[in-house]
Amino acid sequence: QKEVEQNSGPLSVPEGAIASLNCTYSDRGSQSFFWYRQYSGKSPELIMFIYSNGDKEDGRFTAQLNKASQYVSLLIRDSQPSDSATYLCAVNKRRTGGFKTIFGAGTRLFVKA
Amino acid sequence: ETGVTQTPRHLVMGMTNKKSLKCEQHLGHNAMYWYKQSAKKPLELMFVYSLEERVENNSVPSRFSPECPNSSHLFLHLHTLQPEDSALYLCASSQVKNRGLTGELFFGEGSRLTVL
């Protein structure tokens, strides 16, 4: 089982729709959860983080965390062509002496104009 | 200069060459990282330095040698690499919090390495 799993996509949605990106993780002791966006040829940039169960909203983005199900999701409302990118889920996993950040392989999102 | 800067942005080297990648962070963070990104694979954590001490070495071959002279600078020394080492090498920094939580990562633009 991969430590952080994401559907590689591509996920294709029309402009204005809601894009739903999902991620599962294997370590129940994971504490912090992140979504990074990576445009083609660019480096990842953080767009959301969530530490507690429930929803966290920031503009058009909502992160959802369910620790019991070991599931994290990212919703993008009113999707725009500029949202087309690869979205990386990342999890702080326990290690000796602290935590380390483990990434999923990413989901490619394509928003059609 | 702001954020995390990496040089060179592109590097082509032969298998017998020795080269170095450089990273500098201007965010006042206390941890720095090297990640490797290959096509269609997750980001692979290579090395972590926290407070200038190496705290993570993920079974990386010895042909990769990191150096962290201070909290703002990180190097990756490369020698006798293999073609399969061709990838995007990303440097990142973060502020390590209580209980060792790594916090949000801020990435540089990466160094695209091609080994012939």
Q: Is the pLDDT of residue A97 over 90?
A: no
Return the bridge partners of B93, or none: B32, B106
Task: Tell me which of A42-46, A68-72, A75-79, B1-5 is least confident.
Answer: B1-5
Closest chain B residue to A104 measured between Cα atoms?
B42
B59-67: Cβ within 8 A, 24+ apart: B66/B34
The closest of B113, B115, B116 to B22, measured between CA atoms, is: B113
DSSP E strand stretches across B38-86: 44-50, 53-57, 64-70, 73-79
Question: Scanning the structure block, which residue is given the tokens 């206390």?
Answer: B30
Q: Before B83, cis peptide (omega within 30)?
A: no
The reply to whether B95 touches chain A by the CB within 8 Å rule is no
Residues in chain B: 116
User: What would the pLDDT profile of B40-95 be if each residue is shown by its tens digit?
Assistant: 788 999 998 887 677 777 789 999 999 999 999 999 999 999 999 999 999 999 98
The answer to whether the beta carbons of residues A51 and A57 sit under 8 Å apart is no
Query: Looking at residue B100, what is its pLDDT?
Result: 65
Query: Looking at residue B101, what is its pLDDT?
Result: 67
Question: Scanning the structure block, which residue is given the tokens 């990212």?
Answer: A74
Q: Token pair for residue A104?
A: 């999923």
User: What would the pLDDT profile of B72-84 be if each residue is shown by its tens digit?
Assistant: 999 999 999 999 9
Distance of alpha carbon A110 from the chain centroid: 15
The reply to whether A64 touches chain B by the CB within 8 Å rule is no
Q: Token pair for residue A23?
A: 């991620």
Q: Do B105 and A42 touch (CB under 8 A)?
A: no
